[in-house]
């Protein structure tokens, strides 16, 4: 019973955030710093992505909402100061995304492929993560990116 109440409160808060964000005019949207990262696969592949970095709570709440397209080599990197469990949804997100959950050591903890646009279903990390990389839906499978592969970026102390 308490679990339902807590979920109800959290759901209400998330819905409130979504309502506020959906009412924000395009001119008021957050801007992001840009960076690049590389995903190194166990099969020897190295794939570079130009990413926008979402560090602040406002940037993370907005994420890739309202985008109609994204370049094949683009993405968004969400970063946290400390590893923590993460949960995302796709409200107001118009394109399918692969969500790559990354541990503090830069290793991929889990991947949620092809998150459904506009879905309110929670997409969760399989454990504590320091970052999440969002790329176009299906890209992880096309490139052979899997759990255990390595993300090279300064956020994980893996930059060369």
- What digits encode the pLDDT tens for the residues 11-49? 444 444 444 444 444 547 899 999 999 999 999 999 999
Location of structure tokens 């080599």: 73
Q: pLDDT confidence of 101, banded at 50, 70, 90?
A: very high
State the chain's mean pLDDT as an integer: 88
**What's the pLDDT score for residue 44?**
97
- What are the angstrom distances between the C-alpha of 57 and each of 6, 53, 60, 61, 105? 21, 12, 5, 6, 23
Could you tell me what percentage of the chain is helix, strand and coil, using 3-state DSSP and rounding each to the nearest 5? 25, 35, 40
Report whether CATH 3.40.50.720 matches the domain 29-156: no
- Whether this prediction's pTM lies above 0.85 is answered by no
∠ at Cα 37 (34, 38), nearest 5°?
160
Q: Tell me whether strands 46-54 and 74-84 are parallel, antiparallel or unpaired.
A: parallel
**104-109 average pLDDT score:** 98
For 41-63, the pLDDT digits (tens) are 999 999 999 999 999 999 999 99
**What's the pLDDT score for residue 50?**
98
pLDDT above 50 for 86: yes
Distance (Å, whole) CA 157 – CA 140: 22
∠ at Cα 29 (67, 36), nearest 5°?
65
Q: Look at 8-17, 73-82, 147-156 and tell me which has the smallest mean pLDDT.
A: 8-17
């Amino acid at each position: 019973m308490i679990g339902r109440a807590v979920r109800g409160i959290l759901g209400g808060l998330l819905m409130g955030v979504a309502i506020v964000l959906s009412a924000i005019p395009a001119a008021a949207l957050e801007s992001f710093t840009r960076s690049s990262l590389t995903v190194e696969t166990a099969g020897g592949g190295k794939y570079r992505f130009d990413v926008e970095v979402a560090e602040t709570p406002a940037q993370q709440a907005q994420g890739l909402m309202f985008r109609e397209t994204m370049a094949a080599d683009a993405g968004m990197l969400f970063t946290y100061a400390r590893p923590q469990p993460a949960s995302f949804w796709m409200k107001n997100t118009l394109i399918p995304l692969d969500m790559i959950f990354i541990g503090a050591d830069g290793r991929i903890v889990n991947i949620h492929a092809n998150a459904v646009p506009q879905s309110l279903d929670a997409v969760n990390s399989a454990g504590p993560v320091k970052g999440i990389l969002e790329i176009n839906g299906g890209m992880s499978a096309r490139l052979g990116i899997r759990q255990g592969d390595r993300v090279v970026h300064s956020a994980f102390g893996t930059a060369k």
